[in-house]
Structure 1
Amino acid sequence: MMAMRYRIALPADYPMEIIERRIAERGHLTDGLPGLGLKAYLYSRAGEDGAAANVYAPFYLWRASEGMRDFLSGPGFAALCGSFGRPVVESAVAWFGEWKNDVAEARHAAVEKLLLPAGEGMDVLRAAQEGWRESLWNGDGELAVAAAFDPASWTLVRLRLSRRPFEPDGGGARELYRVGRVSLG
């Protein structure tokens, strides 16, 4: 499984209703997309829900790299690039990505990007993320969790989707978003 995301920063005066309308009108186009596990249509409004800026930031979990390849080479991504320019696309190898049957009810997301400690073995880091997942997964709040690592930059990327809002972390490692829609492959 692969995690993929891009983050499009928008001007402070950008009418975020455009993003909400885009998600409402086009979001269904990724339902059933070959190779896709999950796509969360994430966005934030500056000053709301702990967000610092207006941002459109979809997060994908791909079951197969061919699905990711075909999406990035296809008309949907070309349309996004036509509207906003070509974004930097981050990808990472997923240790896990899990979601519950009612994941479409998610309204809030938290995305964390953290440096992996150089002195720790990958087996230890993976076990720590498995523990993180277990600590969240058995409760009733989380609808999806994922952890992935980028071996080019040795960063960890974690995703949480929930019905309830998250608290800002104060350190800036956690980005908070609204969930406009969830598509499943």
Structure 2
Amino acid sequence: MHAMQYELPLPTDYDMGIIRARVARVGHLLDDWEGLGLKAYLIRERGVHGSPVNQYAPFYLWNTVDGMNRFLWGGAFQGIVNDFGRPAVRQWTGLAHAEGTGAHAAFAVRRREPLPDGTELTALMADAVAETERLAAEDGAVLAAAAVDPHRWELVHFSLWEHATAKAGGDVFEVLHLSAPGRDRLPRGRQW
């Protein structure tokens, strides 16, 4: 599993209805993308759920590098580049994935945290797996995942929820659409 996200910061007076309309128009295009586990079309609106910004920030869990590369280099990503410029695309290596019992993803929570120097990596990764399982077991959780960027030594926890929650601790996003053609094929549990 590979995690990926890009963030498009938008002006404070930006009409977020433009992003909602865009997702309504094109969100379905990845509903059957080969190699994609899921794409959550995410937004944050300034002043809503504690967000200080307006932002469009899709989050992906990929089953295959081929699928991810086909998205980035095969033309699909060019639409974002054409409309908003070329954003930095962050990638993380998958650590864990767990399914919850929630049925409909209306919100997402993303928490990024640096991995401190001098701490044993095995223990940190075991804690990340345990946190993924804890989040997925919470009432209203649809799924939870953890991944790490070993270049920046950054851990990301990502979870989908039926309702807005503080149980996951992090940035809260509204889910506008969920493309999940390979969600059932995302590897479960610890990924090593």
Conserved 8 A contact 2:100-2:144 = no
Q: Structure 2: which amino acid aligns with 1:128? A: D
Conserved 8 A contact 1:50-1:167 = no
User: Superposition pairs for residues 78-157 of structure 1, below 5 Å?
Assistant: 78-99=78-99, 105-157=104-156
Q: CA deviation at 1:135?
A: 1.7
Query: Judging changes above 3 Å, is the alpha-carbon distance between structure 1 residues 111 and 31 closer, same or farther for their aligned structure 2 residues?
Result: same
Conserved 8 A contact 1:42-1:56 = yes
Paired residue secondary structure (2:12): coil
Ranges in structure 2 where 5+ consecutive residues have no aligned partner = 182-192
- 1:137-178 residue CA offsets vs partner (Å, 9 max, x unmatched): 223321011100001100001101101112399xxx822110
Figure out how many residues of one structure are paired with residues of the other and give that number.
181
* Separation (CA, whole Å) in 2 of partners of 1:113 and 1:48: 20
Ranges in structure 1 where 5+ consecutive residues have no aligned partner = none
Residue of 171, 177, 184 corresponding to 2:173: 177
Q: Structure 1: which amino acid aligns with 2:179? A: S
* Separation (CA, whole Å) in 2 of partners of 1:179 and 1:6: 15
Paired residue secondary structure (1:70): helix
* Separation (CA, whole Å) in 2 of partners of 1:18 and 1:160: 25
Q: Structure 2: which amino acid aligns with 1:182? A: L
* Separation (CA, whole Å) in 2 of partners of 1:92 and 1:132: 17
Q: Structure 1: which amino acid aligns with 2:137? A: N
* Separation (CA, whole Å) in 1 of partners of 2:21 and 2:135: 32
Conserved 8 A contact 2:133-2:144 = no
Q: Structure 1: which amino acid aligns with 2:138? A: G
Conserved 8 A contact 1:168-1:176 = no
Q: CA deviation at 1:74?
A: 2.3
* Separation (CA, whole Å) in 2 of partners of 1:111 and 1:54: 16
TM-score, normalised to structure 2, is 0.88
Where in structure 1 do 4 or more consecutive aligned residues deviate above 6 Å?
Answer: none
Conserved 8 A contact 1:50-1:168 = no
* Separation (CA, whole Å) in 2 of partners of 1:123 and 1:145: 20
